[in-house]
């Protein structure tokens, strides 16, 4: 376990301000990309947005970026990082989770927090297409938990991946879901729940009408997961879903090199529940005292304003 020196901007020291401003949709154009549909094992499809720099070679690096809850390939942090990585000569794959971004309408099921098998399908596709390119997965928030869940379930990943980087991963889904029911976290819950309801009740034939009606009635994230997510995916209930999908309970099985970053003041995720002694030596835990949830907006006197971006590029060996 390592503490990193992050100095928040003097006007943005509050964790909620870091979180909200950090994830605010800053003006950032979509990088040029090719939209590629991927057929999944159960017949559903997702969409990848693939950006390839000029003069990229098969031996050059490839990075898969995975968004968080309510995100897509158009999330500002993915677009921002994609531009920076492309400038460094890296092929960037912005992966849309089921029913998100350019993949809307391609899947009969919405995503959930433990779908590591979907990332595995993407890796399999990339290894067939770009077999000699060193591959890294970078997941954010819920996407970070999904990436870690993949690593927990698949010991063969070491031969296919250089590393996994998880930024503020939602490792304990039940704890976060219950926190959303308390003030002041209800602000986040309303936003996320509105997004999930929209996906579940969209005007298309993706979900049974009965489940659409149930989704529209849910008042909390826990209720949504208990009445919609769990039955849709064959879990007994929300408790069963949270137990099986939360990477926290399976982290000791990870062998692929991983770097995991948490801020201790994160209003949504409690990263301190991990016991470092339980982890394999390939798994590195990093903490900052401040930064909120995926904020990390820094004081430029002590580094860059987008400190998170700089750190990720450093971990990728690009800075």
319/315 Cα distance (integer angstroms): 8
Residue 78 has pLDDT above 70, yes or no: yes
Q: What are phi and psi of 269, to 5 degrees?
A: -120, 130
Residue 25 has pLDDT above 70, yes or no: no
Q: Which pLDDT does position 205 carry in this prediction? A: 57
From its phi and psi, is residue 314 left (phi > 0), alpha (psi between -120 and 50) or beta? alpha
318/84 Cα distance (integer angstroms): 10
pLDDT in tens, 293-316: 999 999 998 889 999 999 999 999
Q: Which pLDDT does position 155 carry in this prediction? A: 67
208/108 Cα distance (integer angstroms): 10
pLDDT in tens, 119-168: 999 999 999 999 899 999 999 999 999 999 999 988 678 778 999 999 99
């Amino acid at each position: 376990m390592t503490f990193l020196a992050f100095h928040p901007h003097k006007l943005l020291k509050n964790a909620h301000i870091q979180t909200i401003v950090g994830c605010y949709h800053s003006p950032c154009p979509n990088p040029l990309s090719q939209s590629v549909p991927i057929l999944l094992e159960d017949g559903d499809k997702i969409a990848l947005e693939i950006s390839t720099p000029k003069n990229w070679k098969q031996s050059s690096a490839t990075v898969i970026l995975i968004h968080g809850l309510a995100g897509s390939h158009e999330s500002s942090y993915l677009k921002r990082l994609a531009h920076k990585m492309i400038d460094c000569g890296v092929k960037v794959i912005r992966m849309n989770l089921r029913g998100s971004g350019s993949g809307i309408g391609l899947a009969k099921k919405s995503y959930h927090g433990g779908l590591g098998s979907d990332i595995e399908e993407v890796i399999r596709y990339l290894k067939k297409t770009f077999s000699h390119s060193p591959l890294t997965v970078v997941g954010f928030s819920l996407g970070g938990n999904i990436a870690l869940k993949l690593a927990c379930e698949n010991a063969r990943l070491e031969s296919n991946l250089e590393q996994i980087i998880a930024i503020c991963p939602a490792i304990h889904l039940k704890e976060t879901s219950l926190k959303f029911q308390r003030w002041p976290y209800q602000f986040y819950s309303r936003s996320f729940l509105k997004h999930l309801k929209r996906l579940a009740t969209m005007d298309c034939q993706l979900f049974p009408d009965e489940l659409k009606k149930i989704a529209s009635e849910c008042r909390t994230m826990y209720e949504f997961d208990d009445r919609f997510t769990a039955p849709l995916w064959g879990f007994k209930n929300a408790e069963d879903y949270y137990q099986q999908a939360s990477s926290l309970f399976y982290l000791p099985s990870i062998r692929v090199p991983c770097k995991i970053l948490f801020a201790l003041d994160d209003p949504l995720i409690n990263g301190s529940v991990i016991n470092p002694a339980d982890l394999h030596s390939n798994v590195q835990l990093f903490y900052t005292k401040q930064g909120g949830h995926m904020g990390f907006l820094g004081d430029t006197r002590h580094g860059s304003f987008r400190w998170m971006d700089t750190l990720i590029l450093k971990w990728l060996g690009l800075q």
